[in-house]
Amino acid sequence: MTIHATPATTPARERDATPLLQVRDATKRYGGVLAVQEISFDVYPGEILGLIGPNGAGKTTLLNLITGIARPTRGTITFEGRSIVGRRPHTLGRGGIARTFQVVRPFANLTVRENVAVGAMYGAGGARRSTAEAFRKADEVIDFVHLGDQRTAAADSLPVAWRKRLEVAKALAMEPKLLLLDEVMAGLRGTEIDQAMELIRAISARGITIVIIEHVMKVIVGVCERVVVLDYGKKIAEGTPAEVTSNPAVIEAYLGKKYAREHLAARLPDAPVPIEAESQATTEGAGRDDAER
Ligand SMILES: Nc1ncnc2c1ncn2[C@@H]1O[C@H](COP(=O)(O)OP(=O)(O)OP(=O)(O)O)[C@@H](O)[C@H]1O
Ligand SMILES: [Mg+2]
């Protein structure tokens, strides 16, 4: 069963605005694995929507469906009111959808500046851009993400925090309306996470709509207005960060039934749940108590 109900706390903007992206009953099967099952949600213009869930929940697969890298087995996806199922990634890039990859993919033998210029040539404004204009755009974006000192460095020589920034810069150079970020904070620590959160807020302030996949709950709580939670390919919750982090099904998905049984009664209804402590310990993944399932 798929629930299309709008959460009670929906901000006024969402009730009135037309969604930029609509996902309806999206399903993706890989052989015997249902990676994504009947997922429905909307993304509204200007919002930052969090997409969370334990490892293998289907988050990256969902991004692949939205960006044309994989085709849904069933379901519909519309962007600006038009179906985008079956469109190729470069067509969607021209149309205003850009993403980062969980496993970063810079052109290793190109410099930072050249990598970002490639983004500028393939994005929404790319068709009308000369090479010189693409490099100008690249320089502007590189300054915006504070990678200026690394402009001429080879992409593969960068430490992980800067590679993640480069990944964001490549996507931003495409001048997207919708930016999909797949774990851009993984491997970052302390102040690096704070800086990356600032960058996300700055991108949002430019009017770009953002969907962010992230295991670091501090980031989700800090930047997202709304969160969709996946587990085993299904949507198990949707709401504000406070709502989803106090939702028993979400706690169970992250921390296991045993934890939920022992701690939930004492914590609910309104105490925050320590998902943050768990997931910050391993920024590459959120745990799940498989023995309990
Ligand atoms: N191309 C593929 N072929 C076969 N199975 C796949 C493929 N892509 C994903 N899957 C499977 O689909 C499920 C969801 O994977 P996905 O990568 O979307 O999870 P995720 O939520 O992004 O996890 P993580 O937090 O570890 O990145 C997993 O069981 C995975 O093994
Ligand atoms: Mg993933």
Could you read off the pLDDT tens digit of each residue along the chain, which spans 293 residues? Answer: 333 444 444 454 555 689 999 999 999 999 999 999 999 999 999 999 999 999 999 999 999 999 999 999 999 999 999 999 999 999 999 999 999 998 888 888 899 999 999 999 988 877 778 899 999 999 999 999 999 999 999 999 999 889 999 999 999 999 999 999 999 998 888 899 999 999 999 999 999 999 999 998 899 999 999 999 999 999 999 999 999 999 999 998 887 766 666 665 555 444 444 444 334 333 344 545 443 33
Specify the pLDDT at position 279.
40
For 123, the token pair is: 């994005």
Nearest CA to ligand 1 atom 18: 58
Burial of 266 (0-12, 13-18, 19+ CB in 10 A): exposed
User: Do strands 74-79 and 21-30 pair parallel, antiparallel, or not at all (unpaired)?
Assistant: antiparallel
Instruction: Please give the backbone phi and psi of residue 206, each rounded to the nearest 5 degrees, phi first.
Output: -80, 0
101 C-alpha to ligand 2 centroid (Å): 9
**Mean pLDDT for all residues in the chain:** 86
Question: In terms of DSSP H, where are the helices of the chain?
Answer: 12-16, 59-66, 89-95, 112-122, 131-144, 160-172, 190-205, 217-223, 241-245, 248-255, 257-267, 275-281
Total length of the chain: 293
Nearest CA to ligand 1 atom 16: 58
Q: Which residues of 251-260 are buried (b: 16+ CB within 10 A; e: fewer)?
A: bbbbbbeebb
Q: Kindly identify the ligand whose nearest atom is closest to the C-alpha of 64.
A: 1
CA 132, CA 137: separation in Å to the nearest integer? 9
pTM of the model: 0.86
Q: Are 247 and 230 in contact (CB under 8 A)?
A: no
Specify the pLDDT at position 286.
52
Specify the pLDDT at position 15.
54
199 C-alpha to ligand 1 centroid (Å): 27
Query: C-alpha angle with apex 9: 4 to 11, nearest 5 degrees?
Result: 95
- Domain assignments of the chain as residue spans, ordered by start: 19-96+178-201+209-286, 106-175
CA distances, 20 to each of 83, 176, 177, 278 (Å): 12, 12, 9, 33
Q: Kindly identify the ligand whose nearest atom is closest to the C-alpha of 62.
A: 1
Please report the atom of ligand 1 found closest to the CA of residue 102.
27
Q: Which of 28, 29, 59 for mutating ligand 1's site (highest number of atoms within 8 Å of CB)?
A: 59
Is the CATH number 3.40.50.300 carried by domain 19-96+178-201+209-286?
Answer: yes
Our answer on whether the CB atom of 61 is closer than 6 Å to any ligand 1 atom is yes
**Ion ligand 2: protein residues whose beta carbon lies under 5 Å:** 59-60, 102
Our answer on whether the CB atom of 239 is closer than 6 Å to any ligand 1 atom is no
For 218, the token pair is: 């501090």
- Number of Cβ within a 10 Å radius of residue 289: 16
103 C-alpha to ligand 1 centroid (Å): 13
Q: Which of 37, 52, 61 for mutating ligand 1's site (highest number of atoms within 8 Å of CB)?
A: 61
Specify the pLDDT at position 3.
38
Nearest CA to ligand 1 atom 10: 35
Residue 103: which residues within 8 A CB-CB, separation 6 or more? none
3-state secondary structure of 70: coil
Give the end-to-end CA distance of the chain in Å, rounded to a whole number: 21
- Number of Cβ within a 10 Å radius of residue 71: 12
Q: Half-sphere exposure of 201 toward its Cβ, with a 13 Å CA cutoff? A: 11
Specify the pLDDT at position 265.
55
3-state secondary structure of 66: helix
Q: What is the DSSP string of 74-130?
A: EEEEEETTEE-TT--HHHHHHHTEEE--SS----TTSBHHHHHHHHHHHSTTGGG--
> What letter would DSSP give residue 266?
H
Q: Are 64 and 101 in contact (CB under 8 A)?
A: no
61 C-alpha to ligand 1 centroid (Å): 6
263 C-alpha to ligand 2 centroid (Å): 28
